[in-house]
Amino acid sequence: MHEKIRMANRARVCDLCGQMIHPGERYRAVRDEYSPIEYCEHIRCPGAPTAAIADPRPTPPEIRTNANNRAFCMA
């Protein structure tokens, strides 16, 4: 797969989300080396998920109490 960052000189449709790539906007052009088809994608696709969950997840902070000297905070 070959990938280039290009600037659109005409309106195009994003192959990931289906929204328009406007003229003057930068986009990612992806092409398979064995196929003449070129796919256009937004650099930051509006249809993509906004948050990602990182693994391993962080451990919660320890809070010391008088009763058991160790309690975990549930956030």
pLDDT of residue 36: 83
Instruction: Kindly state the percentage of the chain with pLDDT values over 90.
Output: 17
Whether the Cβ atoms of residue 40 and residue 13 lie closer than 8 Å to each other: yes
Residue 32 has pLDDT above 70, yes or no: yes
Q: Answer whether 0.85 is exceeded by the pTM.
A: no
What range does the domain containing 41 cover?
Answer: 1-46
Q: Is residue 35 part of a domain?
A: yes
Under DSSP, the state recorded for 44 is S
Whether the Cβ atoms of residue 30 and residue 48 lie closer than 8 Å to each other: no
Q: Is residue 2 part of a domain?
A: yes
Q: Which residue has the higher pLDDT, 56 or 24?
A: 24
Under DSSP, the state recorded for 47 is T
State the chain's maximal CA–CA distance in angstroms. 70
Q: Is residue 32 part of a domain?
A: yes
Q: Which residue has the higher pLDDT, 57 or 14?
A: 14
